[in-house]
Amino acid sequence: MIVRAVPSVVAGAIVALLGLLSAATAGASGDTEGFALSRLVARTGGEVTAYSDSDSVNVFSPSLTASLYDPVSGWTVGAKYLVDVVSAASVDVLSHASPAWQETRHVAGLDAGYKSTSLFGISAFVVSSVEPDYLSLTGGGQFGLQLMNKQVHPRLGYSYGHDTAGRSDTPFDVYSLVLQRHSLRGEVELVLDAASLLTITADAVFERGLQIKPYRYLPVFAPEIVDAIPNGASIASVNEVRLEGRVPERLPEHRDRFALSGRYAHRGRKKTAIISERLYADNWGVVATTTDMRLIVDASRRWFLWPRVRFHAQKGASFWARAYPATRRGNEVTLPDLRSGDRELGPLVTTSVGGGTRLLLGRRARPRALQIELSGSGEFTHYFDTLYVEGRNGIFAALSLHGEMD
Q: For residue 390, what pLDDT is reported?
A: 95
| pLDDT over threshold 80, residue 208 | yes
| pLDDT over threshold 90, residue 186 | yes
> Could you give the domains of the chain?
1-193 (2.40.160), 231-321+339-406 (no CATH)
Q: For residue 360, what pLDDT is reported?
A: 96
pLDDT digits (tens, 9 = 90+) for 331-348: 788 999 999 999 999 999
Of 12-21, 244-253, 341-350, the one with minimum mean pLDDT is: 12-21
Beta carbons of 370 and 358 less than 8 angstroms apart: no
Q: For residue 39, what pLDDT is reported?
A: 78
Q: For residue 12, what pLDDT is reported?
A: 52
| pLDDT over threshold 80, residue 256 | yes
Q: Averaged over 58-64, what is the pLDDT?
A: 97
- Give residue 92's pLDDT band: very low, low, confident or very high (50, 70, 90): confident
pLDDT digits (tens, 9 = 90+) for 283-302: 999 999 999 999 999 999 99
Q: Is 339 exposed, middle or buried (0-12, 13-18, 19+ CB in 10 A)?
A: buried
pLDDT digits (tens, 9 = 90+) for 356-383: 999 999 998 889 999 999 999 999 999 9
Q: Averaged over 31-51, what is the pLDDT?
A: 74
| pLDDT over threshold 60, residue 28 | no
Indicate the pTM of the whole model.
0.87
Q: Is 169 left (phi over 0), alpha (psi -120 to 50) or beta?
A: left
pLDDT digits (tens, 9 = 90+) for 384-405: 999 999 999 999 999 999 998 8
Q: Is 285 left (phi over 0), alpha (psi -120 to 50) or beta?
A: left
Q: For residue 250, what pLDDT is reported?
A: 95
Pairing of strands 220-221, 324-325: parallel
- Give residue 36's pLDDT band: very low, low, confident or very high (50, 70, 90): very low
Whose CA is closest to 85, among 60, 64, 108?
Answer: 60
Of 13-22, 80-89, 259-268, 324-333, the one with minimum mean pLDDT is: 13-22
- Give residue 111's pLDDT band: very low, low, confident or very high (50, 70, 90): very high
Q: For residue 331, what pLDDT is reported?
A: 77
Q: Is 329 exposed, middle or buried (0-12, 13-18, 19+ CB in 10 A)?
A: exposed
- Give residue 221's pLDDT band: very low, low, confident or very high (50, 70, 90): very high
Q: For residue 72, what pLDDT is reported?
A: 85
Of 35-44, 265-274, 329-338, 361-370, the one with minimum mean pLDDT is: 35-44
Q: Output 261 or 406, whichever has higher pLDDT.
A: 261
Q: Averaged over 112-128, what is the pLDDT?
A: 91
Whose CA is closest to 302, among 373, 369, 358?
Answer: 358
Residue 382, amino acid: H
Q: For residue 4, what pLDDT is reported?
A: 46
Q: Averaged over 7-30, what is the pLDDT?
A: 46
Report the percent of the chain where pLDDT is more than 70: 91
HSE, side-chain direction, 13 A CA sphere, residue 47: 21
pLDDT digits (tens, 9 = 90+) for 131-185: 999 999 999 999 999 999 889 999 999 999 999 999 888 898 899 999 999 999 9
Mean of the per-residue pLDDT values of the chain: 90
Of 69-73, 316-320, 371-375, the one with minimum mean pLDDT is: 69-73
For residues 269 and 167, give the distance between their C-alpha atoms in angstroms, rounded to a whole number.
55
According to the 3-state scheme, what is the secondary structure of the chain? CCHHHHHHHHHHHHHHHHHHHHHHHHHHHCCCCCCHHHHCEEEEEEEEEEEEECCCEEEEEEEEEEEEECCCCCEEEEEEEEEEEEEECCHHHHCCCCCCEEEEEEEEEEEEEEECCCCEEEEEEEEEEEECCEEEEEEEEEEEECECCCCEEEEEEEEEEEEEECCCCCCCCCCCEEEEEEEEEEEEEEEEECCEEEEEEEEEEEEEECCCCCCCEECEECHHHHHHCCCCCCHHHHHHHCCCCCEECECCCEEEEEEEEEEEEEEECCEEEEEEEEEEEECCCCEEEEEEEEEEEECCCCEEEEEEEEEEEEECCCCCCCCEECEEECCEEECCCCECCCHHHCCEEEEEEEEEEEEECCCCCCHHHEEEEEEEEEEEEEECCCCCCCEEEEEEEEEEEEEEEC
| pLDDT over threshold 50, residue 34 | no
Q: For residue 100, what pLDDT is reported?
A: 80
Q: For residue 168, what pLDDT is reported?
A: 82
| pLDDT over threshold 50, residue 30 | no
Report the percent of the chain where pLDDT is more than 90: 75
Q: For residue 128, what pLDDT is reported?
A: 97
